Amino acid sequence: MTTALAGTDRYLAEFEDLERRDAAATPAWLSELRRSAMARFVERGFPTTRDEDWRYTNLAPLAATPFHAARSVTSAPVSAEHVHRIGSSAWPRLVFVDGRYAPEHLSGPPLPDGARLSSLAEAMLDGEELVERHLARHARWDTDVFAALSTAFVQDGAFLYVPAETVIAAPIELVFLTGRPDGLAHPRILVVAGPHSRVTVVERHVGLTDAACFVNAVTEMAVAPGASVDHYVVQEQGASAFHLATIHAALERDSAFSTCEATFGARLARTTLTVRFGGEGGRASLAGLYVTSGRQHVDHHVTVDHAVPRCTSRQLYKGVLDGTARAVFDGRVIVRPDAQKTDAAQTNKHLLLSDGVEVDSKPRLEIFADDVKCTHGAAEGQLAPEAIFYLRSRGVDEPKARQLLTLGFVREVIDRITVEPIRSYLDRALEARLGPERGSKENS
Amino acid sequence: MLSIRDLSVGVEGKTILRHLNLEVRAGEVHAVMGPNGSGKSTLAQALAGHPAYTVTGGQVTYLGRDLLAMPPEERARAGVFLAFQYPIEIAGVSNAAFLKAAINEMRAARGLQELDAMEVLELLDQKLALVEMDRSFLNRPVNEGFSGGEKKRNEILQMAVLEPTLAILDETDSGLDIDALKIVAQGVNRLRRADNAIILVTHYQRILQYVEPDHVHVLFDGRIVKSAGKALALELEGRGYDWIKDEVAA
């Protein structure tokens, strides 16, 4: 508890400093919001393992480390390789370094009329009404400590607005680069998709170094009636990073939302994903794959709130664990009393590549309606020795056989990805990470 | 090509093969027949190097090399191929990716340059016709959701692609209807050459009507108890295995 208090104290000092520096440029609603959120964060403090939602994820090392936000826009050396790793130059793109917008990397074609893609700081400075209406109105900073922390420090990030009936064909890529030792970044994304609009958002988090840093990312997506948002996350933080992500999608009537998250990096990665159906006929497809080794800790807390009737949700999360890695999966599906004709399915599978790994997978179905279809399944397993022998009998040596079978295990998730450059990038990234040389590299 | 001397093999501490002897020369087709539990599959798996089968005695020389000292992948790269009785299903790995990996591992072992995806596809196109499979088979996960006949044809496709020197077909005929059996047999016949050899492990004489063996062996209680020409297969079909058991007991 002492460390947790010391932790919040440090953030409070930073907060007061931010308020002093930013006072003149901050609109009243934002000051108010920040202060309330900070008060909430201080009041709650860092969660401990006594907190049910954090039972298997110990944040003591995070709370004990003095991280500091960048005071100004840093000009860290950013290579084109980091920026253009997945998408082509034809993708609209914003790049952020240590949480701050780096305008020199702006690229991509102009957006359709009325659409807006800009830094959040710029949108707030312009008095963009949609920001005031939606920012921190979806992610539950009153109950989620890290959403509160992000909201208290909200300064910059990405803002995307897609007007009604508008289709943005090219995926919009938001690249967050982090690398400053003991750096603290609060990447923030706000997506407002108007009625019957369509957009794909790719969120990438890249560690430029293996220095310890704390990335507290919050993504809010407001999906209007009939709109469709496809969301991707590729997390490739450095080996000593703490990556905490809060993702919230608010779905209105007949809207569709998909998210697919690939988690590779960070010593501790936690995703708190909430999808809330606010109108009938909504569809959500949630998927994730995580590949961990060494002492990595990956935690997914997924909540799907079927608050209204006739919505469909699908969850598919697959994890590959090696070394002494640990995975936590908590999949909560709430079907509220009125939410008849709910159709919800959840699958969570782990492939255990070593004896030292640990998995805590917990489905939580809270069903208060009777005319519903809800299924869940969880499984843990190792590579089948018979399959390894089958491959070896065809001339494929054991390390390569293990790689092929492991890639096969996550294929189901990859196959859900409809954006070809993301698919092929993940194929390459997985092949490299699950390569036959992996074992020897890890041991050296 | 293959010389098995005094081979004894056990699985889970139980002895299955007892002092088995077999000589196979290039260009020959050998049928190894026998009742259930006689050790036919153990022989096939042991030759392919399945780790669950423990060799407790004897030697196997293949093309002058000590086969038993080689790990399974090395045996495969040296030209030994086992068509599995129960082909393994592999989720998430397409037949094409599986075959590409096998082709390129084999090529690398022989010092040849790897084939790219297009070159692999060209090669596979030629071989697919042999087992009357179409391209859609390549995109499906290995054996997953395949019918029994499709699985066996897939084994023969792999054999056609990898062009083994010594092919061991473990009950490839079992569970096939007559059309599938003909396709499989035709595939095997087309792969028969003067410089390779085939061991057909089978319970029934049926496949031998289509793939004519040079030698027929009867395996019983872990030993080859009778060897003769193809006529022996017909005799077994007519009389069953009991008379062999009686002969051995006598």
Q: Report the gap between the CA of B81 and the closest CA in chain A (Å).
A: 7
pLDDT of B185 over the 80 cut: yes
Q: Alpha-carbon distance A400 to A388, whole Å?
A: 9
pLDDT of A442 over the 80 cut: no
| Mean pLDDT value across residues A58-75 | 79
pLDDT of B162 over the 80 cut: yes
Q: What pLDDT does B46 receive? A: 97
A334 CA to centre of own chain: 21
**Could you say which residues from 121 to 150 on chain B have a Cβ atom under 8 Å away from some Cβ of chain A?**
141
Interchain proximity A392–B105, CB inside 8 Å: no
Q: Please state the pTM of the whole predicted model.
A: 0.91
A interface test, pick of B11, B82, B90 with most A CB neighbours within 10 Å? B90
Q: Alpha-carbon distance A218 to A190, whole Å?
A: 9
In one letter, which amino acid is A415?
A: D
User: By the 8 A CB rule, do A213 and A131 touch?
Assistant: no
| Residue (of A245, A232, A277) closest to A150 by Cα position | A245
pLDDT of A75 over the 60 cut: no
Which residues of A fall within a CB distance of 8 Å from B98?
391, 394, 404
The proportion of chain A whose per-residue pLDDT surpasses 70, expressed as a percent, equals: 95
pLDDT of A273 over the 80 cut: yes
Interchain proximity A385–B51, CB inside 8 Å: yes
What CA–CA distances, in Å, run from A304 to A275, A346, A395, B26?
A: 5, 10, 46, 65
pLDDT of A160 over the 60 cut: yes
Q: Binning pLDDT at 50, 70 and 90, where does residue A122 land?
A: very high
Asked which of A33-47, A107-121, A250-264, A315-329 is least confident by mean pLDDT, the reply is A107-121
Q: Binning pLDDT at 50, 70 and 90, where does residue A1 land?
A: very low
Task: Note every long-range contact of A25-32, with CB atoms under 8 Å and residues 24 or more positions apart, other chains counting.
Answer: A25/A125, A27/A124, A27/A127, A27/A132, A29/A132, A30/A124, A30/A132, A30/A154
Asked which of A243-257, A294-308, B102-116 is least confident by mean pLDDT, the reply is B102-116
Q: Alpha-carbon distance A183 to A4, whole Å?
A: 18
Interchain proximity A395–B82, CB inside 8 Å: no
Q: Find the angle CA(B4)-CA(B8)-CA(B11) to the nearest 5 degrees.
A: 125
Q: Alpha-carbon distance A277 to A223, whole Å?
A: 10
What CA–CA distances, in Å, run from A165 to A195, A255, A281, A285?
A: 6, 13, 18, 22
- How many Cβ pairs closer than 8 A exist between chain A and B? 77
Q: What pLDDT does A108 receive? A: 75
pLDDT of B81 over the 90 cut: yes
Which residues of B fall within a CB distance of 8 Å from A391?
90, 98, 101-102
What CA–CA distances, in Å, run from B190 to A202, A333, A418, B96, B163?
A: 52, 57, 42, 22, 11
Q: What pLDDT does A73 receive? A: 56
Per-residue pLDDT of A374-429, as tens digits, reads 999 999 999 999 999 999 999 999 999 999 999 999 999 999 999 999 999 999 99
**Could you say which residues from 65 to 84 on chain B have a Cβ atom under 8 Å away from some Cβ of chain A?**
71-73, 75-77, 81-82, 84
B interface test, pick of A316, A396, A424 with most B CB neighbours within 10 Å? A396
Per-residue pLDDT of A331-340, as tens digits, reads 999 999 999 9
3 state SS for chain B: CEEEEEEEEEECCEEEEEEEEEEECCCCEEEEECCCCCCHHHHHHHHHCCCCEEEEEEEEEECCEEHHHCCHHHHHHCCEEEECCCCCCCCCCEHHHHHHHHHHHHHHHCCCCCCCHHHHHHHHHHHHHHCCCCCHHHHCECCCCCCHHHHHHHHHHHHHHHCCCEEEEECCCCCCCHHHHHHHHHHHHHHCCCCCEEEEEECCCHHHHCCCCCEEEEEECCEEEEEECCHHHHHHHHHCCHHHHHHHHC
On average, the pLDDT of chain B sits at: 92
On average, the pLDDT of chain A sits at: 91
**Could you say which residues from 382 to 421 on chain A have a Cβ atom under 8 Å away from some Cβ of chain B?**
384-387, 389-398, 400, 404-405, 407-412
**Could you say which residues from 181 to 220 on chain B have a Cβ atom under 8 Å away from some Cβ of chain A?**
none
The proportion of chain A whose per-residue pLDDT surpasses 90, expressed as a percent, equals: 79
| Residue (of B119, B112, B102) closest to B154 by Cα position | B102
Interchain proximity B93–A411, CB inside 8 Å: yes
- Does B106 touch chain A if contact means CB atoms closer than 8 Å? yes
User: By the 8 A CB rule, do A345 and A312 touch?
Assistant: no
Counting Cβ atoms within 10 Å, is residue B195 exposed (0-12), middle (13-18) or buried (19+)? exposed
Q: Report the gap between the CA of B228 and the closest CA in chain A (Å).
A: 30
In one letter, which amino acid is A50?
A: R
- Bridge partners for B61 per DSSP: B3, B66
Q: What pLDDT does A443 receive? A: 35
Q: Binning pLDDT at 50, 70 and 90, where does residue B97 land?
A: very high
Which residues of B fall within a CB distance of 8 Å from A390?
84, 87-88, 90
Which residues of A fall within a CB distance of 8 Å from B170?
none
Q: What pLDDT does A98 receive? A: 87
**Could you say which residues from 18 to 37 on chain B have a Cβ atom under 8 Å away from some Cβ of chain A?**
none
Q: Alpha-carbon distance A71 to A52, whole Å?
A: 35
pLDDT of A444 over the 60 cut: no
Which residues of B fall within a CB distance of 8 Å from A400?
101, 105
| β-bridge pairing A93-97 and A100-101 | antiparallel
| Residue (of A205, A196, A212, A202) closest to A170 by Cα position | A202
pLDDT of B238 over the 90 cut: no
Q: What pLDDT does A441 receive? A: 38
| Mean pLDDT value across residues B90-98 | 95
Dihedral sign computed on CA atoms, order B55, B61, B63, B66: positive
User: By the 8 A CB rule, do B121 and B95 touch?
Assistant: no
Q: What pLDDT does A72 receive? A: 61
Which residues of A fall within a CB distance of 8 Å from B102?
391, 394-396
At B171, give phi and psi (nearest 5°).
Answer: 50, 40
Q: Binning pLDDT at 50, 70 and 90, where does residue A3 land?
A: very low
Q: Which residues contact A411 (CB under 8 A, 6 or more apart)?
A: B91, B92, B93
Which residues of A fall within a CB distance of 8 Å from B101?
391, 394, 396, 400, 404
Which residues of A fall within a CB distance of 8 Å from B162?
394-395
Q: What pLDDT does A71 receive? A: 66
- Does A428 touch chain B if contact means CB atoms closer than 8 Å? no
B55 CA to centre of own chain: 19
Q: Which domains does chain B have, with CATH numbers?
A: 2-249 (3.40.50.300)
- Does B49 touch chain A if contact means CB atoms closer than 8 Å? yes
3 state SS for chain A: CHHHHHHHHHHHHHHHHHHHHHHHHCCHHHHHHHHHHHHHHHHHCCCCCCCHHHCCCCCHHHHHCCCEECCCCCCCCCCHHHHCCCCCCCCCEEEEECCEECHHHCECCCCCCCCEEEEHHHHHHCCCHHHHHHCCCCCCCCCCHHHHHHHHCCCCCEEEEECCCCECCCCEEEEEEECCCCEEECCEEEEEECCCCEEEEEEEEEECCCCCEEEEEEEEEEECCCCEEEEEEEEECCCCEEEEEEEEEEECCCCEEEEEEEECCCCEEEEEEEEEECCCCCEEEEEEEEEECCCCEEEEEEEEEECCCCCEEEEEEEEEECCCCEEEEEEEEEECCCCCCCEEEEEEEEEECCCCCEEEEEEEEEECCCCCEEEEEEEEECCCHHHHHHHHCCCCCHHHHHHHHHHHHHHHHHCCCCCHHHHHHHHHHHHHHCCCCHHHHHHC
B88, B92, B97 member nearest A390 (Cβ): B88
Q: Alpha-carbon distance A347 to A314, whole Å?
A: 8
What CA–CA distances, in Å, run from B202 to B53, B64, B170, B206?
A: 20, 27, 7, 9
Q: Find the angle CA(B195)-CA(B196)-CA(B202) to the nearest 5 degrees.
A: 155
- Does A110 touch chain B if contact means CB atoms closer than 8 Å? no
A301 CA to centre of own chain: 11
Interchain proximity B73–A397, CB inside 8 Å: yes
- How many CA atoms lie less than 13 Å away from A424 in the CB half-sphere? 7
Q: What pLDDT does A437 receive? A: 58
Q: Alpha-carbon distance A224 to A161, whole Å?
A: 11
What CA–CA distances, in Å, run from B34 to B7, B40, B237?
A: 17, 7, 11
